[in-house]
Amino acid sequence: MKIYSGGRYMFAALDNDGVANMGCGEARWNDDGTMTEMPMYQGGMAVNDISYSLAMAESEAGFSQSITGLVWNEDTVDLNEEWKLLSTVTSPYDGLWTLEAREVENDAIHDFHEVKMIGGGHFIWYHTYSTDTSSHADFGYGTFEVGEGGAVVETGMHSSLEGFTGASLTFQLVDDNTMEQTYMQDSVAVTQRYTRL
């Protein structure tokens, strides 16, 4: 899945080796009709001074995009993709967010980092963390429905986590550039605070 919203983008998928992969950052239209993507995170790591020029065209189902000369796993490839438009729904939560703080009682997780994109009635998240015995990198995406009083239902469509179906969450915009989400995990409340990128 790939989401564009408010001059930002994010995609997440499994690569050919079954490893969770992602990219997100700034997206800018150019006068010649191409789009420039400038990643902030790529493969889960913060990056800078990288940009990709994408040839974009509307298609019957959504849009096509082409990137020539993409360096991928030490190879240079030309990438041609067809994307289906799923929705143009907007919400006050739309945008690219990075985790600032995570509160959970008796948490066995260390070094939890997450980036989340919301837009077009959908969400994508990618997170990394470690436990005392292992390291993890996972993603998930699906639909994002806003109800009354900040109640949000995220319904999972696909994830690197087995059995991922989404969650019912409570969201709150603290200000234009800060949001909080709270959800239950194994009968324990988890609160996460994000800053807009």
pLDDT in the model for residue 83: 92
Tokens 């988890």 sit on residue:
190
Task: Kindly state the average pLDDT of the residues 126-144.
Answer: 92
- Give me the amino acid identity at 117: M
Average pLDDT, the chain: 90
pLDDT in the model for residue 100: 97
Task: Kindly state the average pLDDT of the residues 129-158.
Answer: 89
Tokens 């409570």 sit on residue:
170
Give the Cα separation of 61 and 46 in Å (integer).
32
pLDDT in the model for residue 148: 81
pLDDT in the model for residue 139: 94
Q: Which residues partner with 76 through β-bridges?
A: 71
Task: Kindly state the average pLDDT of the residues 41-55.
Answer: 90
Task: Kindly state the average pLDDT of the residues 183-191.
Answer: 88
pLDDT in the model for residue 116: 97
Give the Cα separation of 179 and 80 in Å (integer).
35
% of residues, the chain, pLDDT over 70 = 99
Whether the pLDDT of residue 81 is over 80: the answer is: yes
pLDDT in the model for residue 150: 72
pLDDT in the model for residue 179: 95
**Listed residue (92, 183, 195, 177) closest to 140, CA to CA:** 183
